[in-house]
Amino acid sequence: SPWAQEPKRHELLKPASKRPFNAEPPISMLGEHFYTPNELFYVRNHLPVPCISAEDYELELEVEAGAGKSSKCTFNLDEIKKLPKHTVTAAIMCGGNRRSEMTRIKPVKGLSWGAGAVGNAKWAGARLCDVLRAQGVEPDEHLQVIFEGADLDPTAHPYGASIPLSKALDPRGDVVLAYEMNGQPLTRDHGYPIRVIVPGTVGARNVKWLTRIVVADHESDSHWQQNDYKGFSPSTDWDTVDFGKAQAIQAMPVTSAICSPMPEERVKVDKGHITVYGYAWSGGGRRIERVDLTNDGGKTWHVAKLEQENEPDGRHYGWSLWSIRLPVTDEQQKQSELEIWAKAVDSAYNVQPESFENIWNLRGVLANAYHKVKVKLI
Ligand code: MTE
Ligand code: MO
């Protein structure tokens, strides 16, 4: 069975599916750590986890004829580790994070993720731009970089994805061939021995168990690049959808989530306040500027305190944690039910949409409406 060699997982990871393994941590724990502990980092696998030994590992780099002077070369793990080591903090978020909230409007196809299909880590490895430059790859707006994993589907096609060459070559893009996650070697679930980290870009392009890189004049022809991870109008249904007409998701939109309290939690009011915390993140390196909270349906907004790295805007790839002591009126205390809303604003003043109605899409991706949590006051 292809599933016989699956790694052991932390018991707190809640599976959305077991084969392939997909799981998220309890979000109250997620919001407690600026760097997500490796064993609690969500796992999103489309296929069985491949077994790769450090000795046998090989990465192929090919420049196709349509993308300049064609060439092919390979690297083993030691060769990659000898290249200058670059560290970047980046959150990775699945395109389907928070899908379960969008589903409540109208069913969508996809794993029913809560708000935990995201994690923030310090990644270290060789810079992809160094590897490409050494191979003589020149900037060209029309070219793409295709990544392939060692995980194969039943027809022997690898998991694959692609990004624009301009992102790969940009030194501020911080794309790394990572062998470390929070100072530890990658675990098997997260791509051992090498995965590509594409900061600011949807999880699906951060290919794990990376075995092949191709510079080409076209995107990856994989299912996941072509027929998945794309957004559509709320009125597009499975009879009318044309995946060829939509752009593959790359940078993610601004989002946030309340990690604590959890829905339906009984929350103690302390001197007229309750404590609320969570995360916020935006794609494309856009820093989180502000997180606003309301518990009266938007009549009054309160600004949360942010914890974030001091990276420049445009290169701010890590998430922000936020927390606030939210005031509760006597009137609200008497009613005992309270609904809390969170919305984040990024450095381009992009803001989350208020509801899921107008961003609903049939795959349930880009689910970034205000996060709304109903609690009971005690
Ligand atoms: N890479 C390979 N080779 N196979 C996969 O199934 N899943 C992708 C991406 N890279 C995937 C992959 C998706 S959809 C996401 S959201 C992230 O990996 C999840 O990364 P994680 O499991 O380390 O959290
Ligand atoms: Mo994903």
Which pLDDT does position 117 carry in this prediction?
Answer: 98
Angstrom CA distances, 176 to 44, 68, 128, 149, 314, stand at 19, 22, 5, 15, 17
pLDDT in tens, 179-208: 999 999 999 999 999 999 999 999 999 999
Measured in Å, residue 62 CA sits from the centre of ligand 2 at 26
* Tokens of residue 164, six digits: 């624009």
pLDDT of residue 332: 96
Q: Is the dihedral of CA 307, 310, 312, 314 positive or negative?
A: negative
Tell me, in angstroms, the distance from the centre of ligand 2 to residue 205's CA.
Answer: 8
CA 99/CA 360 separation, integer angstroms? 10
| 60, 88 Cβ separation under 8 angstroms | no
Q: pTM for the whole thing? A: 0.98
Q: Which of 21, 35, 44 to mutate to test the pocket of ligand 1 (most atoms within 8 A of CB)?
A: 44
CATH 2.60.40.650 for the 255-377 domain, yes or no = yes
Residues constituting the chain: 378
Q: At 256, which helix (H) or strand (E)?
A: strand 255-260
Q: How much distance in Å is there from the Cα of 90 to the middle of ligand 2?
A: 15
Q: Which one, of 169, 153, 150, lies nearest residue 210 by Cα?
A: 150
Domains 14-245 and 255-377 share a fold: no
**Which pLDDT score, from 0 to 100, does residue 1 have?**
87
Q: What architecture is the 14-245 domain classified under in CATH? A: Alpha-Beta Complex (3.90)
Tell me: the pLDDT tens digits for 129-149? 999 999 999 999 999 999 999
Contact 249, 368 (CB under 8 A): no
Range 186-189, long-range pairs (CB < 8 A, 24+ positions): 187/7, 187/38, 187/39, 188/7, 188/49, 188/51, 189/7, 189/9, 189/21, 189/43, 189/45, 189/49
What separation in angstroms does the CA of 295 have from each of 260, 304, 351?
Answer: 14, 13, 18
Query: Which stretches within 170-313 are classed as H helix?
Result: 223-226
Residues of the chain with pLDDT under 50: none
310: number of Cβ within 10 Å:
6
Whole-number pLDDT of residue 53: 97
Q: Could you identify the atom of ligand 1 that is nearest to the CA of residue 45?
A: 6
C-alpha 274/C-alpha 370 separation (Å) is 19
Half-sphere exposure of residue 345: CA atoms within 13 angstroms, side-chain side: 9
Point out the ligand 1 atom lying closest to the alpha carbon of residue 46. 6
Indicate which residue's Cα is closest to atom 19 of ligand 1.
44
Q: Which residues line ligand 1 (CB under 6 A)?
A: 41-47, 92, 94, 149, 151, 159, 189-190, 203-204, 206-209
Q: What is the DSSP letter of 126?
A: E
How many of the other CB atoms lie within 10 Å of CB of 38?
18
Q: How far is the CA of 206 from the centre of ligand 1 (A)?
A: 6
Q: What is the DSSP letter of 374?
A: E
Instruction: For residue 169, report the phi and psi dihedrals to the nearest 5 degrees.
Output: -90, -15
The full set of domain ranges for the chain reads 14-245, 255-377
Residue in the structure block whose two tokens are 């600011």: 200
CA of 224 to the centre of ligand 2 (A): 9
Cα-Cα end-to-end distance for the chain: 51
Check residue 290 and give its pLDDT.
98
